[in-house]
């Protein structure tokens, strides 16, 4: 049964009590509570929690320090809740969605194989589209060969002196021609290099359609960029030649900037843009051709589905790694919160000073018990309570000597 004096103390546990001597205070309270071990443990806890303090104790400073620690704990708790919410979203939504997509894609693969066996695959092949694409590819191929042949001839083999002499009154219009169509149909040794060069440019246009494997898009982008650079150099050479002819004819100044010249951009438009259109038509033609064969069509569908499965599995692996990272961060936050809680427990006093105050209090309590042999059993109880309390909160029991 709790002594009456102790019951009186419990009614004011929230009030901070300042004392001059912990030993004298303990001697007084031990007498009021008849040396009860439970009462002593409660007083020890009050001292640890800062409700019984030395008279030199600064309450305002103590409360400010406690408040700062409590704010930090609150911030860590909020951060932990955000991380746990993010983790739950990944586990309950994104991971399940990714796994469901993988299952759906695998079912589509099996269904495609079954449809192929039963001849139920609708390839979507259109003969009209196929022959339209073939016709456009052939026409554009002829155009590109003639275009590059004319561009190469105009860049490297056009005779400036002869051109100026034969231009006559139409010299301005004649010199603005960015191509020399007549030159590529007049037999000469130069035509060998002209047409071989044209096929070289044409072959460059085929390169992106041979790309495959890893980083396919990057490789295609590099090939297209290379074609643009080569076409730009050819456009620069043609525009530079036109300007030199105009200077020789006396109808242009020496100053020239190819970036402001319309001829430069016309060459790119007729060459590079046409090359892109040809590439697109060529790709459409190949895709339409593959639709004629059900096995090829099914293989392409399955290949695309397997690519999607691989991407989804990579995404799932990344999400699982993110979950592990979030769990690690949550654990770190919980450990930090535990440290802050321990720091909050110690916030009222310096640990060494607190240990000293607790020891002084116990010494005063024991002094009361030493006053009568009737308290020997209580003395053992109080000693055990004190040792357990100090070991729990300080890991080391101070010497009483």
Are 336 and 82 contacting, i.e. CB atoms less than 8 angstroms apart?
Answer: no
Are 289 and 130 contacting, i.e. CB atoms less than 8 angstroms apart?
Answer: yes
Beta strands per DSSP E along 284-339: none
CA within 13 Å, CB half, 260: 3
Are 42 and 313 contacting, i.e. CB atoms less than 8 angstroms apart?
Answer: no
Q: What is the pLDDT of residues 107-140, one digit of tens each?
A: 988 887 887 777 666 667 788 988 999 999 999 9
- Asked whether the predicted pLDDT for residue 142 surpasses 60, the reply is yes
Q: How far apart are CA 272 and CA 186, in angstroms?
A: 26
Provide the pLDDT confidence category of residue 8 given band limits of 50, 70 and 90.
very low
Q: How far apart are CA 120 and CA 197, in angstroms?
A: 48
- Residue 11 has what pLDDT? 40
| φ, ψ (nearest 5 deg) of residue 17 | -110, 125
Are 241 and 234 contacting, i.e. CB atoms less than 8 angstroms apart?
Answer: no
Are 290 and 296 contacting, i.e. CB atoms less than 8 angstroms apart?
Answer: yes
User: Which has more confidence, 245 or 11?
Assistant: 245
Are 39 and 2 contacting, i.e. CB atoms less than 8 angstroms apart?
Answer: yes
Please choose, from the candidates 110, 72, 27, 118, the residue with its C-alpha nearest in 3D space to the C-alpha of residue 302: 110
Q: How far is CA 231 from CA 154, 236, 261, in A?
A: 14, 9, 15
Q: How many residues does the chain have?
A: 401
Provide the pLDDT confidence category of residue 39 given band limits of 50, 70 and 90.
very high
Q: How far apart are CA 74 and CA 379, in angstroms?
A: 42
Helix then strand count (H, E) for the chain reads 15, 2
Please choose, from the candidates 371, 360, 317, 315, the residue with its C-alpha nearest in 3D space to the C-alpha of residue 47: 360
Q: How far apart are CA 221 and CA 217, in angstroms?
A: 6
Six token digits for residue 18: 């300042």
Q: What is the pLDDT of residues 290-315, one digit of tens each?
A: 777 777 778 878 888 999 999 999 99
Provide the pLDDT confidence category of residue 344 given band limits of 50, 70 and 90.
confident
Q: How far apart are CA 153 and CA 392, in angstroms?
A: 96
Are 20 and 32 contacting, i.e. CB atoms less than 8 angstroms apart?
Answer: no
Q: How far apart are CA 289 and CA 129, in angstroms?
A: 10
DSSP string, 90-144: IIIIIHHHHHHHHHHHHHHHHHHHHHHHTT-------HHHHHHHHHHHHHHHHHH
User: What does pTM read for this prediction?
Assistant: 0.44
Q: How far apart are CA 242 and CA 272, in angstroms?
A: 20
| φ, ψ (nearest 5 deg) of residue 135 | -60, -45
- Asked whether the predicted pLDDT for residue 220 surpasses 90, the reply is no
Place of tokens 């010249």: 261
């Amino acid at each position: 049964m709790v002594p009456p004096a102790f019951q009186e103390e419990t009614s004011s546990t929230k009030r901070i009590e300042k004392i001059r001597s912990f030993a004298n205070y303990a001697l007084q309270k031990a007498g009021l509570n008849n040396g009860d071990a439970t009462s002593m443990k409660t007083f020890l806890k009050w001292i640890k929690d800062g409700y019984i303090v030395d008279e030199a104790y600064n309450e305002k400073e103590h409360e400010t320090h406690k408040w700062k620690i409590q704010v930090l704990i609150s911030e860590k708790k909020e951060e932990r809740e955000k991380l746990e919410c993010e983790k739950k979203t990944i586990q309950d939504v994104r991971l399940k969605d990714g796994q469901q997509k993988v299952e759906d894609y695998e079912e589509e693969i099996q269904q495609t194989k079954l449809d192929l066996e039963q001849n139920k695959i609708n390839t979507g092949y259109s003969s009209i589209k196929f022959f339209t694409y073939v016709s456009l590819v052939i026409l554009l191929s002829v155009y590109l060969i003639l275009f590059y042949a004319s561009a190469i001839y105009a860049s490297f083999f056009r005779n400036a002196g002869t051109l100026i002499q034969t231009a006559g009154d139409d010299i301005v219009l004649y010199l603005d021609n960015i191509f020399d169509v007549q030159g590529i149909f007049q037999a000469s040794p130069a035509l060998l290099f002209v047409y071989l060069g044209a096929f070289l440019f044409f072959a460059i246009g085929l390169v992106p359609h041979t790309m495959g494997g890893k980083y396919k898009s990057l490789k295609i982008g590099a090939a297209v960029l290379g074609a643009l650079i080569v076409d730009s150099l050819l456009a620069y050479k043609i525009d530079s030649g036109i300007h030199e002819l105009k200077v020789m004819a006396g109808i242009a100044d020496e100053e020239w900037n190819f970036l402001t010249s319309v001829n430069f951009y016309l060459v790119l438009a007729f060459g590079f843009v046409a090359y892109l259109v040809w590439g697109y038509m060529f790709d459409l033609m190949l895709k339409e051709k593959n639709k004629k064969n059900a096995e090829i069509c099914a293989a392409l569908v399955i290949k695309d589905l397997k690519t999607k499965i691989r991407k989804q599995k990579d995404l799932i692996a990344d999400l699982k790694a993110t979950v592990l990272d979030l769990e690690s961060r949550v654990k770190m936050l919980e450990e930090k919160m535990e440290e802050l809680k321990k720091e909050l427990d110690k916030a009222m006093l310096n640990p060494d000073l607190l240990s000293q105050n607790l020891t002084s209090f116990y010494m005063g309590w024991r002094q009361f018990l030493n006053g009568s042999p009737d308290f020997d059993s209580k003395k053992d109880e109080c000693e055990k309570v004190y040792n357990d309390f100090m070991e729990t909160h300080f890991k080391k029991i101070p010497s009483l000597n």
